[in-house]
Structure 1
Amino acid sequence: MQQTTRGGELPKLEIQANIAARIYTSDILIAPSRVGSGRSEWVTWEVQLAAIGYAIPILFVDHGEDQQRRTALISEVASLGLPHAVCGRVAHEIVPKVIKLVGGRPDWTMRENEDDRVIRYRGPPAAARDDVLKKFPYQARLTPVEPEPTKPKSGIWPFG
């Protein structure tokens, strides 16, 4: 059991399910880059889940201008060729890195289920995901794109 901010206790797996759902519904994960953050079980787990489990880019933010060393998580993510960046903790450094990692203005959405029985849905538990989406509803920033109507092909036969 883990102590919550409101004084109650929740099973660790329930907390992890909620965190996994929040990461899954995100476009980017922002994590600290200081050396001590790599020793945190939670930070390490969140970075691993985002980078490897959900292929979400990670922005590591330095603690201050005088920071000389960084967490080993950065070199581990880099060695795998996963999308990431490192920056200072000022807006004019953070914003361009986020835009670059996200690829500009997002025009995609997340999968909530699979209609094809051959393809399996992989993601956080539906209850945790639904709970997160109730608290932080997903709202597409762009209007949906309507597919262009297809014209029937004309063949060499005059019939049908």
Structure 2
Amino acid sequence: MLQRIQTVYLLIIVALTIATLFLPLAVLQVGDMLLSFDATGVNTMAVPSELIYPTWGLFALTAIIALIALITIFLFRKRMLQIRLCIFNALLMVGFYALFAFFVWNVKNQVGEEDMVFAVKIALAFPLINLILDYLAIRNIGADETLVRSLDRLR
């Protein structure tokens, strides 16, 4: 199970996705107020942090991505199901960015300020890295499947 390279890719996906859950994704500046955007919501950066806009859907989607990648590791005997779950997970990763863009647009409309400054943090790149690693895992799982089928043909 752990000797295959796709397992390492999927473990890195799990680790980066869990990091995405807890690291800030972006910093928004509206006038003189600084807001931190993470997976749980948009919070003020003042000492008593106040939740301005909850984004629990983004948190749930990120947790589901990590859970599916973790489950996919243990389905090493069912390679076609692994490939399907990886493709589904890739679609969820693209949906992460769509949901993130929706929440940023919604926060901008809720605040009502046109001079909102948006600074991206490194954690926002993690789903893109996960998407690349997911593609590599799909390729390696497919290579294992073709190897097993070719060996079955020889018997």
TM-score w.r.t. length of structure 1: 0.23
Which of the pair has the greater relative contact order for Cα pairs under 8 Å at 6+ separation? 2
Structure with more of its chain in helix, by fraction: 2
Structure with more of its chain in strand, by fraction: 2
TM-score w.r.t. length of structure 2: 0.24
